């Protein structure tokens, strides 16, 4: 079990996307418990309403679609002028569609949520981080960003792109006190729709997944790694991609 550190994030303002469930919810709650002010963003107001309501002004819930410019504007308006950290967690799957099957709508939506949204939100918070001379960003990538055998082509491509974006952000802004890292979870017990919409994927990927995937992680296990990367304990870690997958990426 990870160790709770009281007041580790006292006075720190953090945006967490996809905060209504799964990894995002676990991350938001732990940040709140450790003293942060959290702008908790989710597309579902119903899910946000399930967050504990005991944090007072520490918790700032925002219902927004971060894949839209309007959604980003809503988040930044709620955040005010002080954001020290950002967790780009919101993401969607793609039905495991193969390159011969993927449709434009699936491709565009997956990239809008998994790549464009983190880019826009990072771009929005960087000026205040640069002005402060410090900031920490964690992007939630995936095992799908490390290999080609655990998702469809749109999701796989989007997570590879997010890892590239993470590294580029680290290189460009490290001299301004900004750190940008990624976690790459394997299977996690969340409500993300991981249903197969492809018979080809069942034939090609099904046996590989059955043979190699470890047991599912709990969201809190991924959240612990995210908080470490956000914290001062990771002050010399920048541009890293941390596999949080019980060794799946080592197979």
- Please tell me which residue in 25, 116, 159, 165 is annotated as part of the active site: 159
DSSP, residue by residue, 52-101: -S-SGGGEEEEE--TTSHHHHHHHHHHHTT---EEEE------TT--TTT
Contact 67, 92 (CB under 8 A): no
Q: Is 55 a catalytic residue?
A: no
Q: Is 155 a catalytic residue?
A: yes
Distances 223 to 12, 138, 154, 201 between C-alpha atoms, Å: 17, 11, 25, 30
Between CA 129 and CA 133 the distance in angstroms is: 6
- Please tell me which residue in 25, 116, 155, 165 is annotated as part of the active site: 155
Contact 16, 209 (CB under 8 A): no
Burial class, 104, CB count within 10 angstroms (exposed 0-12 / middle 13-18 / buried 19+) = exposed
Say how many CA atoms lie within 13 Å of 102 toward its Cβ.
22
Contact 40, 17 (CB under 8 A): no
Task: Determine how β-strand 37-42 pairs with β-strand 13-17.
Answer: parallel
What amino acid positions are annotated as catalytic residues? 155, 159
């Amino acid at each position: 079990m990870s160790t709770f550190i009281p007041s580790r994030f006292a006075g720190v303002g953090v945006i967490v996307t996809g905060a209504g469930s799964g990894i995002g919810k676990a991350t938001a709650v732990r940040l709140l418990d450790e003293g942060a002010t959290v702008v908790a963003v989710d597309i579902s107001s119903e899910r946000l309403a399930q967050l504990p309501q005991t944090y007072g002004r520490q918790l700032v819930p925002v219902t927004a679609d971060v894949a839209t410019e309007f959604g980003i504007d809503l988040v930044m308006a709620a955040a005010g002028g002080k954001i020290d950290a950002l967790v780009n967690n919101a993401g969607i799957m793609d039905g495991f569609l193969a390159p011969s099957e993927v449709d434009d709508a699936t491709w565009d939506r997956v990239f809008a949520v998994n790549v464009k949204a983190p880019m826009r939100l990072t771009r929005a918070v960087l000026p205040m981080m640069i002005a402060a001379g410090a900031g920490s960003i964690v992007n939630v990538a995936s095992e799908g960003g490390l290999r080609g055998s655990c998702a469809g082509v749109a999701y796989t491509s989007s997570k590879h792109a997010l890892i590239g974006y993470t590294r580029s952000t680290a290189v460009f802004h490290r001299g301004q006190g900004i750190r940008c890292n990624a976690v790459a979870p394997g299977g996690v017990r969340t409500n993300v729709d991981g249903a197969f919409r492809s018979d080809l994927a069942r034939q090609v990927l099904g046996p590989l997944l059955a043979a190699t995937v470890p047991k599912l992680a709990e969201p809190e296990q991924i959240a612990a790694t995210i908080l470490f990367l956000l914290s001062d304990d990771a002050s010399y870690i920048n541009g890293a991609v941390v596999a949080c997958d019980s060794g799946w990426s080592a197979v």
